[in-house]
Amino acid sequence: MFSKLALRNVRRSFRDYGVYLLTLTFGVCLFYTFNSIDGQGAMVFLGRTGNPMVGAIMMLIDVFSVFVAVVLACLILYANRFLLRRRKRELGTYLLLGLSQGQVSRLLFLETGLIGIVSLIAGLALGVAASFGMSALTLSMFEMDVSALLALNFSPKAAVKTVLYFGVIFLLVMALSGVQVSKAKLIDLIHGERKNEVLKPRPLGVAVFQFVLGVVCLAAAYAILLFFGMALAVAIPFLCFPMLGLGTLGTLLIFRSLSGFVMKFVQGRPGLYFKNLNVFTLRQWISKVHTTYLAQTVVCILLLLAIGITASSLGLNSTLTAMTDGEAPFDITVQNQSGDTELIDFDALLREGGFDPDEKLAWSHDTPFYYNEKEVTGIEDASAAIRVSDCDALLTRQGLPAYAGPLPALLEDREDKLSTGNLGLRCVVIPDEMAERLEIRRQVWSADYAGGSGEETENQLLQLIRPLNDRLSVRMETRLFIYADMVGNKILALFLGLYLGFTFLLAAAAVLALQQLSQGADNTGRYAVLRRLGAEEKQMKRSATQQVALAFLLPLVLALVHSVVGMKAANDIIFAVGKVDSTASSAVTAGVILVVYGGYFLATALACSRMAKNA
């Protein structure tokens, strides 16, 4: 009997408490995805090449997974309290029908177990797909053909870890639910619905003062952050703590003051105040802002962390990409630093070793660099010279326009600087005929691989070129090695940023959604009264949606204001080491917020509208 009843209640929960199940599924998916990175293509490649970042990434993921598990546990416990409060009348009815408190606790135990199993299965299935997408994302960082490492894999280790962590969380939920029901009195369960909140309006002057004081506190926090910079403000305690304290206090005061002057503002406009159900909508929303401003402040801070961490990690990732592109403009670059004594015929060398350049190379170019002589070029502040024809060949291959400036001239003074890897020379571009009057300093051979396995082609090239070091000073740089070194830092920044960003965003959206579902459930009696008074169903559904929209938009708007200032300070640090693609990182972050936060908003609005319709 208990199994059938628990199964029926769980089936009903899919319809009535979809947000709760959605949160559980997303939590499992998030946890599995980031704990399965050891089997993803990029990490497999880094481990095969012996990159030391693999150990650091896995260690930090394990550490942050504990933090994420604690956050998700608190979130699930909060959601479970919401469900129990919503079901107090139902649980009290079971007691009236003759069930003991132990039997009701066992029923809840079975229901939680079934919900946990369904959430784990759905979350792991979704996590496998998300892990594949994450693998594709990280492999795209190499900007070369490593598609052979892309495969849809299931990580037993990550699955066991996920089941273990969430199993403990669900057991904790089961235990607390049983204790809460066993200690509850029957009368409290039967009359457990939330009482109407009494709206005690504050004087308008007090509300305006709180709002102004909140704005001043935020302005002071912003000034400290922008003037001293994020690194300095966070590193120095007497700057960090006042900045964080002023920002939190300012946010709290703004939310606390809304219930005062917003009501006065709207009441002063009778045409708006008495239109449709605006009186009911406004008073319900303001009563919740009046009593839940602490929760609104916490949600706003969670959104700030989610937006800031996600955007900063994406911005740092694009900066590292730009730095890597400058160091590895071609698939392979070979510097003959003994070019002033002996030049190498790379084409003949490769053919003698059985390597066909025409077949395995998409492009190659042999570039001589000359000693710069002021008497010839007329430019003193340069250590090497390059012919304009060679310069144009390299620029064109890098997708840059050909050189069109004066001759001779310093090449590094141009915006589209020629990238030749770690050459370490300040070059002047000269006419081709002027090179006859200069002596060769170095020889640089650059090439890009043809289609197919770049790793195989590179291994063959290195086997033929490395023996040259026996008699010459030859330095080799390959895009594959440079990207392998840099991609570890990129993956670390991206993974940790997305991991924490998604966690905070999920927590903020779920807390708001559950809070609004609770309010919507409490309002069902009020919607029934409105229906008897003649209110149309369309108006009640619109009122429910408007309350949800206000609850979701206000913390988001203030969090966006905070994040703009925070990202300005963060970008100043990132910009010190490279160019920041703020447009791309902001667009991706906005897309993430739209999908996760917007999805929760739609699910909550539909659920609250259904409650109003069925009242």
Which residue do the tokens 């037993």 mark?
156
34 against 440, higher pLDDT: 440
Average pLDDT over residues 11-20: 64
Instruction: Output the pLDDT for position 195.
Output: 46
Instruction: Output the pLDDT for position 77.
Output: 76
Instruction: Output the pLDDT for position 582.
Output: 55
> DSSP state, 194?
P
Instruction: Output the pLDDT for position 10.
Output: 65
Residue 159 — pLDDT band, cuts 50, 70, 90?
Answer: confident
Instruction: Output the pLDDT for position 389.
Output: 92
413 against 162, higher pLDDT: 162
391 contacts 348 by C-beta, under 8 angstroms: no
Give yes or no for residue 431 having a pLDDT over 90: yes
The answer to whether the peptide bond before residue 555 is cis (omega within 30 degrees of 0) is no
Instruction: Output the pLDDT for position 365.
Output: 92
What crossing angle do the helices spanning 53-86 and 18-35 adopt, rounded to 10°? 170
Residue 599 — pLDDT band, cuts 50, 70, 90?
Answer: confident
Q: Which range, 62-66, 84-88, 416-420, has the best average confidence (pLDDT)? A: 62-66
Residues 6+ apart with CB under 8 A from 263: 201, 282, 283, 286
CA distance 563 to 589: 11
Q: Enumerate the domain spans of the chain.
A: 1-193, 196-329+481-615, 338-472
Which region among 35-44, 139-148, 420-429 has the lowest average model confidence (pLDDT)?
A: 139-148
Residue 434 — pLDDT band, cuts 50, 70, 90?
Answer: very high
Give yes or no for residue 199 having a pLDDT over 70: no
Instruction: Output the pLDDT for position 17.
Output: 61
pLDDT tens-digit series, residues 468-496: 888 888 888 887 777 766 767 777 777 77
Token pair of 362 as six digits: 């998409």
406 against 418, higher pLDDT: 406
Which region among 83-97, 343-357, 416-430, 435-449 has the lowest average model confidence (pLDDT)?
A: 416-430
Give yes or no for residue 196 having a pLDDT over 50: no
Q: Of 468, 479, 482, 448, which is closest to residue 339 (Cα–Cα)? A: 468
Residue 194 — pLDDT band, cuts 50, 70, 90?
Answer: very low
Q: Which range, 98-107, 151-160, 382-391, 448-457, has the best average confidence (pLDDT)? A: 382-391
User: What percent of the chain stands above pLDDT 90?
Assistant: 7
Instruction: Output the pLDDT for position 237.
Output: 59
181 against 210, higher pLDDT: 210
pLDDT tens-digit series, residues 211-243: 889 889 988 888 888 777 665 555 565 667 788
Specify the DSSP element, H or E, that contains 111. Answer: helix 101-139
285 against 366, higher pLDDT: 366
Instruction: Output the pLDDT for position 598.
Output: 86
Token pair of 402 as six digits: 């050909």
Supply the pTM of this predicted model.
Answer: 0.65
Question: DSSP 3-state assignment of 335?
Answer: strand
Q: Of 259, 234, 235, 260, which is closest to residue 247 (Cα–Cα)? A: 234
319 against 334, higher pLDDT: 334
329 contacts 584 by C-beta, under 8 angstroms: no
296 against 585, higher pLDDT: 296
Average pLDDT over residues 100-109: 74
How would you write 446-510 as a 3-class SS string?
EEEECCCCHHHHHHHHHHHHHHHHHCCCEEEEEHHHHHHHHHHHHHHHHHHHHHHHHHHHHHHHH
Q: What is the dihedral of CA 384, 390, 394, 395, to 10 degrees?
A: 90
120 against 15, higher pLDDT: 120
Average pLDDT over residues 268-272: 68
Instruction: Output the pLDDT for position 398.
Output: 83
Instruction: Output the pLDDT for position 204.
Output: 66
Chain centre to alpha carbon of residue 410: 41
pLDDT tens-digit series, residues 494-526: 777 777 788 888 888 887 887 787 777 777 777
Give yes or no for residue 27 having a pLDDT over 70: yes
